[in-house]
Amino acid sequence: MNLLYKSTRSDDTLVTASQAILKGLAEDGGLFVPTVIPTLDVNMDELSKMTYQEVAYEVMKLFFTDFTEEELKNCIHKAYDEKFDTEEIAPLAKAEGAYYLELFHGATIAFKDMALSILPHLLTTSAKKNNAKNDIVILTATSGDTGKAALAGFADVEGTKIIVFYPKDGVSPIQEKQMVTQKGDNTYVIGIKGNFDDAQSGVKAMFNNKELAAKMDKGGYQFSSANSINIGRLVPQIVYYVYAYSRLYKNGEIAKNELINIVVPTGNFGNILAAYYAKNMGVPVNKLICASNDNKVLFDFFSTGTYDRNRDFILTSSPSMDILISSNLERLIYRITGSDASKTKELMDSLSNKGNYEVTVKMRDQLKDFEGGYASEGDTADIIKKIYEDTGYVIDTHTAVAASVYEQYKEAAKDSSKAVIASTASPYKFARSVMNSIDMKYDSLSDFELIDELSKISNTDIPKAIEEIRTAPVLHDKVCDAADMQSTVEDILKL
Ligand SMILES: *Cc1c(COP(=O)(O)O)cnc(C)c1O
């Protein structure tokens, strides 16, 4: 069967999977969604015998139907290889009555690696399939994590270049070091004198510049985006929920068809949407628990039916979830309207014009799969300390938001279903907040002393991603004014 994709905001265009991956965003500003969510065509007994890569193929073949078996397997094998420090790719750790699905064993020790290690291969394959003759230039503005994960994913991928702009004084020392030590002949990292918004506006302006596009075309290049709304990032994230269920079943932790809960620390709503797609594909899931930090716009949405971004932006210890516009929520909204593109467009227009929208009672009825919750900074620190003291297991601040919300949910709902908690970053990535949660005495240590101490108390090896940057040489030292971003890109591409 050939599965096609359409926009959430109009009904007139149908595209193939590879076209949707290449385009990223639909021309009307909507997101691409599959016209139907396919059902798994292998059962749990079969899945439980498969490797991560084999499960990945079973899921992706149903969504990327215009890829040949060989193309898809090739992408999967290039992505999920020795870059991950465990053959399981996404292992489960049992602690304090829950199963932590560790999504941080890739190159940059955060869950963005799960999708960004395969996206470059899906993109280059899609370009070939559609006879795009140009090399792909990935242009990204980053506040830290996405930039490094995209750099690692695209480094030395033939037919691509990646250019990352970051605010010179607006990322953590570890994040900066991770980026400026990036290897690969096709990687470019530039600090700008400005903040993240300046970087993001500069990138957007280049994407929308028709003159630049023509110049690029002449030079043999075209821009593309590694943004989290690309369907090529969403689908690979479904895989690990199917895989996690199959491992629980294989290891006798759950009975056949037993319903489980899934708890996800949420920002842009991509990761939890993937869990929802997994449920719709036939994975036995009871509740999808959406965990927010103090930026609890989603909690308010699930409890009131109104989405309202008109509020202060709060900086927290889980920065990758500091978001007021959860872009991927649009795909869920589209579904609960009963696939009504004009209604979805109306709500999204209201969001961009007034900063809010309200869904109807009928739409709210369709949100019963979800449960919203949030954790304050204090709750987050407390649960890190508690789980460490009870079990010796150390979780990062993002995962801790989910763990705290799960505790609250269990208590309130008296629901004792088994739960998988998406563990989205290694504690080493946020070592200072994590260690301070356990004991403020650590605050006097330097960044690398903290890392050594974390290794000792958690009895885990320091990940290669961290070990490497201790001594890695700086390979990128370019800095430019925000106003000169375009000329910097033109220099790099020799336009
Ligand atoms: C990006 C990110 C999240 C949020 O995921 P979404 O898909 O944007 O909801 C949570 N935790 C970490 C560590 C992240 O990097």
Which residue owns the Cα nearest ligand 1 atom 4? 267
- For the segment 144-203, what is each residue's pLDDT rounded down to a tens digit? 778 999 999 999 999 999 999 999 987 877 889 999 999 999 999 999 998 887 888 888
Q: Is 147 in the pocket of ligand 1 (CB under 6 A)?
A: no
Q: Pick one of 1.10.1040.10, 3.40.50.1100, 3.60.9.10, 3.40.50.1950 as the CATH number of 92-109+232-461.
A: 3.40.50.1100
Q: What is the pTM of this model?
A: 0.94
Average pLDDT in the 451-466 region? Answer: 96
- For the segment 420-457, what is each residue's pLDDT rounded down to a tens digit? 999 999 999 999 999 999 999 999 999 899 999 999 99
Tokens of 49: 């015998």
The one catalytic residue in 6, 23, 83, 112 is 112
Q: Is 153 in the pocket of ligand 1 (CB under 6 A)?
A: no
Q: What is the pLDDT of residue 58?
A: 98
Annotated catalytic, 112?
yes
In angstroms, what is the span from residue 322 Cα to ligand 1's centroid?
A: 9
Residue 269 CA, closest ligand 1 atom number = 9
Residue 145 CA, closest ligand 1 atom number = 15
Which residue ranges make up each domain of the chain? 92-109+232-461
Q: Is 56 in the pocket of ligand 1 (CB under 6 A)?
A: no
Q: Is 414 left (phi over 0), alpha (psi -120 to 50) or beta?
A: left
